[in-house]
């Protein structure tokens, strides 16, 4: 019995998809356009997150040891630091390594090598997991025995935290607005499509079909339209993002990795299915309950 019902819903939906091509084209294209807009916002947010993650990876907290601290004591001090939960990576930088890098970065210093002694102390370089941890890590590091001075990009870290928060909120609000608009537009598109089939829906009920029997194929049809629209949007957005990512690979603005696109595509397909389904539910309810004007 239940299989007969499922079979019936599938056959009816397939019949409608085959026969009502114009309706299918208009619904699928509407969903596709809306999801390209919504998906673009989602990709933009993903990329900004990837960028802030990348920027976070660039944030470093430096701690400089007092010049009279023996190197063995300095390296011992690193062990508890490595266990701090906020940090991603910790590295001891000897004053010789630091001096060498200075000379590489500033060739003019190399010319004066004979004239001046290495003025740099031994140091510890820490990378934090999230930008908001930077200040706390710098504070903790300043209290480590033997540390003379701490340097960190305080302003940049705080700006990054603020920026990330604003991006999240703006993305959430804009996505919600676009989503509401999308539901409204898809609902109206499906409603217009169903309007032409109002009599058909009514006749189905006159010959004894239950509301579920009538609505089932329309809901499946709407869901399939949504998935097809989402698939079209994926066909536009995914290759476009892959192309942009290739362009930006070695730039200061690396985009979200390609593996993230798989999850993005799956979410977009789900969003398309839900858009089609909810749009159909809102639309069909009206036509199931009202009698068409038969003589118009």
For another protein, give the closer residue by CB, 133 or 218: 218
Interacting residues with another protein (CB under 8 A): 1, 4, 7-8, 15, 19, 199-200, 203-211, 213, 291, 294
> Minimum Å distance from CB 273 to another protein?
26
Q: What are phi and psi of 295, to 5 degrees?
A: -95, 0
Residues 27 and 222 sit within 8 Å (Cβ to Cβ)? yes
For another protein, give the closer residue by CB, 49 or 211: 211
For another protein, give the closer residue by CB, 18 or 259: 18
Tokens of residue 69, six digits: 């601290």
> Minimum Å distance from CB 289 to another protein?
9
Residues 219 and 277 sit within 8 Å (Cβ to Cβ)? yes
The bridge status of strand 60-65 relative to strand 87-93 is unpaired
For another protein, give the closer residue by CB, 68 or 293: 293
For another protein, give the closer residue by CB, 19 or 151: 19
Helix (H, G, I), strand (E, B) or coil at 259: helix
> Minimum Å distance from CB 241 to another protein?
43
Those residues with Cβ within 8 angstroms of residue 100's Cβ, 6 or more apart along the chain or in another chain:
none
> Minimum Å distance from CB 242 to another protein?
44
Residues 147, 149, 150, 154, Cα dihedral to 10°? 160
């Amino acid at each position: 019995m239940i299989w007969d019902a499922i079979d019936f819903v599938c056959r009816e939906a397939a019949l409608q998809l085959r026969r009502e091509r114009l309706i299918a084209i208009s619904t699928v294209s509407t969903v596709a356009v809306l999801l390209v807009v919504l998906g673009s916002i989602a990709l933009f947010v993903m990329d900004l997150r990837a960028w802030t993650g990348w920027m976070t990876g660039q944030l470093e907290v430096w701690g400089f040891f007092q010049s009279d601290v023996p190197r063995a004591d300095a390296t011992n001090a690193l062990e508890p630091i490595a266990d701090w939960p906020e940090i991603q990576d910790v590295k001891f930088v000897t004053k010789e390594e630091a001096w060498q890098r200075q000379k590489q970065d500033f060739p003019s210093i190399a010319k004066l090598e004979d004239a001046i002694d290495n003025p740099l102390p031994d140091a510890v370089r820490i990378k934090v997991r999230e930008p908001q941890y930077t200040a706390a890590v710098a504070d903790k590091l300043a209290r480590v025995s033997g540390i003379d001075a701490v340097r960190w990009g305080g302003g940049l870290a705080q700006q990054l935290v603020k920026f990330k928060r604003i991006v999240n909120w703006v993305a959430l609000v804009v996505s919600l607005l676009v989503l509401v608009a999308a539901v409204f537009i898809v609902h109206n598109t499906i409603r217009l499509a169903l309007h032409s089939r109002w009599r058909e829906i009514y006749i189905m009920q006159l010959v004894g079909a239950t509301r579920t029997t009538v609505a089932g194929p329309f809901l499946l049809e709407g869901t399939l339209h949504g998935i097809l629209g989402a698939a079209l949007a994926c066909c536009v957005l995914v290759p476009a993002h892959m192309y942009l990512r290739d362009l930006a690979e070695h730039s200061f603005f690396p985009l979200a990795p390609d593996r993230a696109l798989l999850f993005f595509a799956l979410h977009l397909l789900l969003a398309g299915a839900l858009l089609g389904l909810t749009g159909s539910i809102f639309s069909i309810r009206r036509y199931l309950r009202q009698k068409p004007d038969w003589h118009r």
